[in-house]
Structure 1
């Protein structure tokens, strides 16, 4: 079993295992779950996509982690962080850590995304010296915007941009930020 990287009241965030491939394929690599980010990976790309999940955390120390429900071990989704590398992103953001998450369809609406993303923000500010953690979504993806609001991220409309990696309906990319000092005040009141 992979060691947990983070735990919350209900969740375990851990590196991916080869045994997760079937659940990932059936429940996370779907057009419904990946609707706002281009849809499911086509069959010829699924092996490489899952390989990136398997290898990113162990080899780089960041990436997407599996979200497992503590109560029953069910794979709920993925959450993690990585550097923003898109050339279309504003220079202020490039190289900075971006929090990301996805949940299987039936896991939405139970607070799991907020709980997992909060753990990821903690990881960013404990494991890196980044002054800011970023979140990105589109106006069309109202659920992600709601998660960012619940987490206390601040909208940055001045940094909104068109990302050619996404279809026109998912643009402009909306940008949100959490500053290290803000995280300390809101989540680490004693430190």
Structure 2
């Protein structure tokens, strides 16, 4: 059964058919995909939703669709996922990706906080990590707002990304005992 998370303004939930078109639009937006190797086709975007939903159904957690509670508008995704095996970092990662129309309202921080709290309270994780290209200063600001810290010794060249500026990744960490509040 898929867990849903409620915040003051957001619902993190399983994926719906109605999410496919706006998700595909996000994945075709060069600004939303600025810190990724490329844009996604509609088929690639739809396939990602199928993977996300399968993970949610299998584990009960993962990359949730994010909806604004007041309007029912789908604005992106957020959640937790095991770090890819190819990376030199282990554990569970928190992440988010929102439509440009949802930027600047604190939604990424709100959704990220809900995911982190779920990870510590329900999954009993000792630590949660966040990984992003060094140039993604917006996401790094969210990581700091979540209480995460960066140690340059953890940074790495992402072997899953073609050579170039997106390959250098930074890692932020939050250990259970270090979280704010």
- The verdict on a shared fold, with TM-score over 0.5 as the criterion, is yes
Q: Say whether the 8 Å CA contact 2:86–2:159 is kept in structure 1.
A: no
Matched, 1:131 2:120: no
Return the alpha-carbon distance in structure 2 between the equivalents of residues 33 and 12 of structure 1.
21
Return the alpha-carbon distance in structure 2 between the equivalents of residues 29 and 59 of structure 1.
28
Matched, 1:11 2:2: no
Return the alpha-carbon distance in structure 1 between the equivalents of residues 30 and 38 of structure 2.
4
Task: Give every structure 1 segment of 4 or more consecutive aligned residues whose post-TM-superposition deviation is greater than 4 Å.
Answer: none
Return the alpha-carbon distance in structure 2 between the equivalents of residues 75 and 24 of structure 1.
8
The 5 Å alignment of 1:54-93 reads 54-89=53-88, 93=89
Name 1:172's counterpart in structure 2.
168
Give the secondary structure class of the aligned counterpart of 2:58: helix
Name 1:97's counterpart in structure 2.
92
Return the alpha-carbon distance in structure 2 between the equivalents of residues 133 and 139 of structure 1.
18
Structure with the bigger RCO (C-alpha within 8 Å, sep 6+) is 2
Matched, 1:31 2:30: yes
Calculate the aligned-residue CA RMSD, in Å: 1.9
Return the alpha-carbon distance in structure 2 between the equivalents of residues 106 and 68 of structure 1.
13
Name 1:115's counterpart in structure 2.
110
Name 1:155's counterpart in structure 2.
150
- Pick which of 6-15 and 122-131 moved more: 122-131
Q: Say whether the 8 Å CA contact 2:66–2:76 is kept in structure 1.
A: yes
Structure 1 residues 169 and 81, CA, compared in 2 at 3 Å: closer, same or farther?
A: same
Matched, 1:181 2:180: no
Return the alpha-carbon distance in structure 2 between the equivalents of residues 101 and 127 of structure 1.
19
Structure 1 residue 29: deviation in Å?
Answer: 4.6
Q: Say whether the 8 Å CA contact 1:162–1:172 is kept in structure 2.
A: yes
Return the alpha-carbon distance in structure 1 between the equivalents of residues 126 and 58 of structure 2.
24
